[in-house]
Amino acid sequence: MKETQLSGDVHSFDRAIALERISARLVQGRTQPEWANMIGPFGGITAATMLNAALTHPDRIGEPVSLTVNFAAAIAEGQFEIEARAARTNRSTQHWIVELTQQGEVAATATAVFGARRQTWGDTEAQPINAAHPEELVPTEYTDVIWARQYDKRFIEGPIPTDGLDRPTSTSTLWIRDLAGRRLDYPGLAALSDAFYPRIFLRRGGFKPCGTVSLTTHFHADPSQLAVIGDDFVLCTAHANRFANSYFDQSARLWSRSGDLLATSHQTVYFKA
């Protein structure tokens, strides 16, 4: 996509995931200041951008089914290149390998599976969360992380602690929506699956050095379900299973207001504590 097409009132999310083809092999993007994390961009925006490299590729078939993004290095402010390659295309599924580089050095890798969805028997076995409506809750301000200012976040449980006290559980549940009214799509869902602050903060009562190393999202929503959500709140819940020897995992579920499980997501995070 040419930069000229992105001027004016284009949402910063769309600027951040926008890619311009610079060769048969590569597209180019640019980090956006609105999506900065403490070091480099928010992992969710990187995941969305790498997914978008496959999604906007002329060879793409089907819709996202799963995405794994591995964060190999901090991404520096400025330009980056992405190579998205369809490693295998079947009749109704497609397998992508995606690499993000800066100055020729790999900063993130990803794989994605795309597929055609057909109507089948279905059931949601995960228990929906009986949460207060977002309208009854107060928005939370994260003042020290720029990307989080792009979302309206309303916690039901597990807000960021600042008291330095250990807690026995790592569950956070919150409603999130894009503050500027961007409608939910697959890149938006990929970003939301990483929109939790690190679980180690909750367990240890405050900031600890850490960074996601691998993020996997399984998409359950089809395009028509996403269309119905529009820019409405999504109910997001996450917890950790085990913290041990420099790494912990996090499992998350993303629900629509009407009780559709939109995605399940799992990550492993490096930490010091």
Q: In terms of CB distance, is 142 or 243 closer to its own copies?
A: 243
218 binds its own copies (CB under 8 A): yes
Candidate list 57, 154, 239, 256; residue touching its own copies; CB under 8 A:
239
Q: In terms of CB distance, is 71 or 233 closer to its own copies?
A: 71
247 binds its own copies (CB under 8 A): yes
Say if CB 100 and CB 50 are below 8 A apart.
Answer: yes
Q: In terms of CB distance, is 246 or 258 closer to its own copies?
A: 246
Q: Which of 185, 154, 190, 174 is nearest to 267 (CA)?
A: 190
253 binds its own copies (CB under 8 A): yes
Q: In what order do the strands lie in the sheet with 27-30?
A: 20-21, 27-30, 79-89, 93-102, 105-115, 63-71, 210-219, 261-271, 247-256, 234-239, 172-178, 151-157
39 binds its own copies (CB under 8 A): no
Residues 148-187 that bind its own copies (CB under 8 A): 169-170
Q: In terms of CB distance, is 2 or 272 closer to its own copies?
A: 272
Binding range to its own copies, per CB under 8 A, among 4-12, 48-56, 114-122, 134-142:
114-122
> CB neighbours of 253 closer than 8 A, spacing ≥ 6?
126, 236, 237, 238, 261, 263, 264, 265
Residues 51-70 that bind its own copies (CB under 8 A): 65-66, 68, 70
- The DSSP H or E segment spanning 204 is helix 199-204
Between CA 65 and CA 222, with CA 86 as vertex, the angle to 5 degrees is 20
91 binds its own copies (CB under 8 A): no
CA dist 92 → 88, 89, 158, 234, 262 (Å): 11, 8, 41, 29, 21
Q: Which residues of 113-132 are buried (b: 16+ CB within 10 A; e: fewer)?
A: bbbeeeeeeeeeeeeeeebe
Q: Which of 11, 53, 50, 8 is nearest to 34 (CA)?
A: 11
Q: CB of residue 130 vs its own copies: minimum separation in angstroms?
A: 17
227 binds its own copies (CB under 8 A): no
Candidate list 34, 99, 178, 185; residue touching its own copies; CB under 8 A:
99
Bridge partners, residue 93, by sequence:
115
12 binds its own copies (CB under 8 A): no
Binding range to its own copies, per CB under 8 A, among 25-33, 141-149, 181-189, 237-245:
237-245
48 binds its own copies (CB under 8 A): no
* Interface contacts to its own copies, rule CB under 8 A: 65-66, 68, 70, 72-73, 87-88, 90, 93, 95, 97, 99, 105-107, 109-111, 113, 115-126, 169-170, 203-204, 213-214, 216, 218, 220, 222, 239-247, 249, 251, 253, 261, 264, 266, 268, 270-273
